[in-house]
A and B are shown apart, each in its own frame.
Chain A
């Protein structure tokens, strides 16, 4: 049984095949990256994998269960969490509360107990608050505990989304361009964070254009182009693939530059 199985998945918008007949298997405990040109269908794929879109065709199986056609909160219940390419935060709340919402699935709270404020609830609230604070420290947001979400800088917000996703205690975490808008120094911290996550037993799927990050952390890379699979394999193989260079990486020089990923500066992704 594979951890995540995707079978001839398609999504059509009007005439656009954003994802077309896509099949792949992801193994547990690894970091899988999905790369591909702009508009290749990466975000759409994540939307399918979290139930935000329902597929035009195909199936999604997670830990052996067929999740096709379920609502997003059902995906979350099964252990899949994500972040967004465009921030989707609760800007009407504090940072800490944002993360606490992530604990929603693990709280037993009926309407009656909410209205009457059972003592049990207060205790659980305290625990929830503590755990959320812990997660914020974990992603490096210790200094923003009481801050309103709408008063935080962009880089912090990106990490806040990760903390919130972690609060759901996912087994599969999908990150959509977490490094966009971060400077190279901050991207480096992200690199380490992803490493620690896998250590926690979370399987990570990373969608990213920052090749240093991708090449550095991925166990396995899936390359999409026009909604289809272009290539797949370990980082070293993918970066040498001429089709990938042609469609995505650009000049062969850039690709070669990445070849020395370990030693090379982790900064620029351009020339």
Chain B
């Protein structure tokens, strides 16, 4: 479904990605692990088109989308839940969610809204509060909900469990699994590397802008290097 070849990105003159090759197949759940500053966020931003690519190619379902504008990618179904929540602070919770479904028809968006509320009941209670006043974890739920509103076909999740209570972390991972069951393709970045690897079909390890390891989630979990560097074992 998604093929990345030799992707390189820079911030100014500083290279952040140095030739990434990876594939995500239809219906797969692929995890990406790496230390702070490895370039995980950068990669997701490049995939969403909000960061220009310096070199390389990105193909989605066979079509070259390297130069496609971000909104066109959203239209194709490439949807990202960004790191650091990035909610629209002054807008209400409901407006935030509705904007998540910006490109969808009203009726469809309405149904999606109900689903999100069912998943995160807190948000329903706060639907007309400005998003900026939510607690950190509530904002994270909002960010995830907003992503789901766009009917993703390829969902890019950047640290979705950050700041969430243990109970909710369980729920988020359960939700990821059920999305996968509904045939949504998922590309997941999470500091909770153990959980992220445990549910992944396949995974990549990123180090200073390069893919250094790749394999099934299970294999990587038992890889000694990974255990020491990312799992704290």
A and B touch in the complex (CB under 8 A): yes
Which A residues are within 8 Å of any B CB, using their own CB? 13, 16, 36-40, 42-44, 85-86, 153-156, 177, 180-188, 209, 211, 247-251, 254, 265-271
A156: chain B residues within 8 A (beta carbon):
36
Whole-angstrom CA separation of A13 from B122 in the bound complex: 16
Q: Would B36 and A154 count as touching, CB distance under 8 A?
A: yes
Contact of A249 among B167, B171, B228 (CB under 8 A): B167
* 25 contacting pairs across A/B (C-beta < 8 A): A16-B129, A37-B165, A38-B135, A38-B168, A44-B135, A86-B136, A153-B37, A156-B36, A181-B162, A181-B191, A184-B194, A184-B232, A184-B233, A185-B229, A185-B232, A186-B35, A250-B170, A250-B171, A254-B170, A265-B232, A267-B193, A269-B169, A270-B166, A270-B195, A271-B198
Q: Would A271 and B233 count as touching, CB distance under 8 A?
A: no
Whole-angstrom CA separation of A270 from B177 in the bound complex: 14
Whole-angstrom CA separation of A183 from B33 in the bound complex: 10
Whole-angstrom CA separation of A255 from B135 in the bound complex: 24
Contact of B137 among A16, A39, A181, A211 (CB under 8 A): A39
Whole-angstrom CA separation of A245 from B194 in the bound complex: 22
Q: Would A39 and B36 count as touching, CB distance under 8 A?
A: no
Q: Would B233 and A265 count as touching, CB distance under 8 A?
A: yes
Q: Does B141 contact A (CB under 8 A)?
A: yes
Q: Would B159 and A181 count as touching, CB distance under 8 A?
A: yes
Q: Would B231 and A185 count as touching, CB distance under 8 A?
A: yes
Whole-angstrom CA separation of A259 from B138 in the bound complex: 28
* Contacts beyond the supplied A38-B136, A247-B167, A267-B233: 14 A-B pairs with Cβ under 8 Å: A38-B135, A39-B134, A39-B137, A181-B191, A185-B228, A185-B230, A250-B168, A265-B232, A267-B192, A267-B231, A270-B161, A270-B195, A271-B173, A271-B198
Q: Which residues B208-233 have CB closer than 8 A to chain A? A: 228-233
Please tell me the size bucket of the interface on B. 35 or more
Q: Which residues B188-212 have CB closer than 8 A to chain A? A: 191-195, 198
Contact of B232 among A16, A37, A180, A188 (CB under 8 A): A188
Q: Would A209 and B138 count as touching, CB distance under 8 A?
A: no
Q: Would B133 and A38 count as touching, CB distance under 8 A?
A: no
Q: Does B119 contact A (CB under 8 A)?
A: no
Whole-angstrom CA separation of A37 from B140 in the bound complex: 13
B60 to chain A, nearest CB (A): 29
Contact of A180 among B162, B170, B198, B229 (CB under 8 A): B162
B164: chain A residues within 8 A (beta carbon):
38, 209
- B129-163 vs A, CB cutoff 8 Å, 1 = contact: the mask equals 10001111110110000000000000000010111
B170: chain A residues within 8 A (beta carbon):
250-251, 254, 270-271
A85: chain B residues within 8 A (beta carbon):
136, 163
Q: Would A180 and B163 count as touching, CB distance under 8 A?
A: yes
A268: chain B residues within 8 A (beta carbon):
192, 194-195, 198
